[in-house]
Structure 1
Amino acid sequence: MEGVEYIYDEHGRIKGVIIPPELWEKVKAELFEPSKYRGIYRGRKNLGKSLRELREEWERDF
């Protein structure tokens, strides 16, 4: 890729990569964003509280 630079350690293994800002913006736009996939809990302000309430529904004393 044009403009990408690799940083190697003393054993020749890649330890880091430097990429141009334009390429980073393109890659960053394609990264996974978990908040888009929270389903019915997407709009909840306190997700932890909602999950605790859901768990309480399923706990039973048998």
Structure 2
Amino acid sequence: MTILRRVKSKKSDVTVAAGTRVHSIRLLHRSHDDRVVAVMLPGVGLARIGPSLVRKA
């Protein structure tokens, strides 16, 4: 999977560029309609992002 647009980390000053490949992908369900994707971002580590920020490459 790849990142569609720039993602800023809340914990550090690292910004992940669009087109970056992500690893260790897991789909998490918070509630009935809310979904979150847990991914490993290079330079950031484990992050939870919305499914609209990633696509299958």
Task: Answer 1 or 2: which has greater strand percent.
Answer: 2
Q: What TM-score results when the alignment is normalised by the length of structure 2?
A: 0.24
Whose RCO is larger (CA < 8 A, sep 6+)? 2
Task: Answer 1 or 2: which has greater helix percent.
Answer: 1
Larger radius of gyration: 1
Q: What TM-score results when the alignment is normalised by the length of structure 1?
A: 0.23
